[in-house]
Amino acid sequence: MVQPTQQNIEDLAGAALAELSALDSLESLEQWRIAYLGRRGSLTVVLRGLAGLDIEERRRIGALANQAKQSLESGLEARTREINEAALLRAAQEDRLDVTLPGRYPAEGRLHPTTQIVREICAAFAGMGFSVVEGPEVEWDHYNFEMLNIPKGHPARDMWNTLWVDYTNEAGEQPMLLRTHTSPMQARVMESRRPPVRVIVPGKCYRYEATDATHEWHFYQVEGLAVDEGITFANLKGTLYEFARRLFGEERRVRFRCDYFPFVEPGVDMSIDCFACQGASGQAQDGGCRICRDSGWIEIMGAGMVHPRVLSGVGYDPDKYTGFAFGLGPERIAMLKYGIDDIRHFYANDLRFLRQF
């Protein structure tokens, strides 16, 4: 062990400070600290040799050694501060901000095309006195089917490829599902209020089926319902005709044809004349019209007069009240309105597609 003396302490401190002044990085400062002030550093080794001195000499040399240690620690702190300040100054000079440059505009978000068309549909019906309500996406069989004149075992259930929820009640049944349409809100709304009723119900639906250009396993639907005394099929036709004109243009013509839905009687499908070929069956376009497939008409929704059993099921007197209901798919409306040929584009999250809207 080295016997500490005043001379070797002064020499060690001088050499360390000289070396410190030449360092220019935080990494080299850490290596210097370990070399001189670490557990096995040069100054630490000298301090350990104090134990071999007599008391008077130990006090004198110990005081000198502590002064040297404080000097080295102060020098290290000062040099660290100088290097950090130099780094900040260098960064400010090299990465200087040119305040004369124009600012960068933040990227703007956009509404999804389905959201846009749902809002357009809701706005069209809201202008005719309909209010907007929403319902649960996980629904009871009771509301999704039975309250809509589709009891267990009814063949009409095959019209919907249902996604059942793994839920079993005390009776051992599985009455819960991901709703296949927004029509359950017909029963829920009529249960909770008395006529007159005028509501539309936008929401997401789910069906267990393969996807292709015209089918998705999840999609949006907008359901409509109006119930009051004296409502007739003429009210249904007038309301939907006005909707078609508001959404697709004042010049639109409409067509109604008989169709079957368990919860309405009579039931119809509604079509509008093709806005691409102006109902001319594609004759004015080379190769025909891909929107209406040369038919001149585009089907946009199903509708009908509310079935008396649905009315009586919620406590309405079908001899006193009548009503109409309709349902349409916003994605299908958007596909027709914007010429989109594949429904899968809506949920592929491809920004090249979404930025167009």
In whole angstroms, what separates CA 167 from the centre of its chain? 27
Of the candidates 46, 160, 199, 307, the residue annotated as catalytic is: 160
Of the candidates 79, 179, 181, 198, the residue annotated as catalytic is: 181
CB 142 within 8 A of CB 186: no
Q: Report the distance separating Cα 132 and Cα 129, nearest Å.
A: 10
Q: Can 234 be counted among the known catalytic residues?
A: no
Of the candidates 179, 188, 198, 207, the residue annotated as catalytic is: 207
Q: How many CB atoms lie within 10 A of CB 263?
A: 23
Q: Can 7 be counted among the known catalytic residues?
A: no
> Can you give the three-state secondary structure of the chain, one letter per residue?
CCCCCHHHHHHHHHHHHHHHHCCCCHHHHHHHHHHHHCCCCHHHHHHHHHHHCCHHHHHHHHHHHHHHHHHHHHHHHHHHHHHHHHHHHHHHHHCCCCCCCCCCCCCCCCCCHHHHHHHHHHHHHHCCCCEECCCCCEEEHHHHCHHHCCCCCCHHHHHCCCEECCCCCCCCCCCEEECCCCCHHHHHHHHHCCCCEEEEEEEEEECCCCCECCECCEEEEEEEEEEECCCCHHHHHHHHHHHHHHHHCCCCCEEEEEECCCCEEEEEEEEEECCCCCCCCCCCCCCCCCCCCCCCEEEEEEEEEECHHHHHHCCCCCCCCEEEEEEECHHHHHHHHHCCCCHHHHHCCCHHHHCCC
Greatest Cα-to-Cα distance within the chain, rounded to the nearest angstrom: 119
Q: Can 325 be counted among the known catalytic residues?
A: yes
Of the candidates 79, 179, 189, 221, the residue annotated as catalytic is: 221
CB 298 within 8 A of CB 291: yes
Q: Can 207 be counted among the known catalytic residues?
A: yes
Residue count (the chain): 357
Q: Can 2 be counted among the known catalytic residues?
A: no
Q: Looking at the annotation, which residues are catalytic?
A: 160, 181, 207, 221, 264, 325
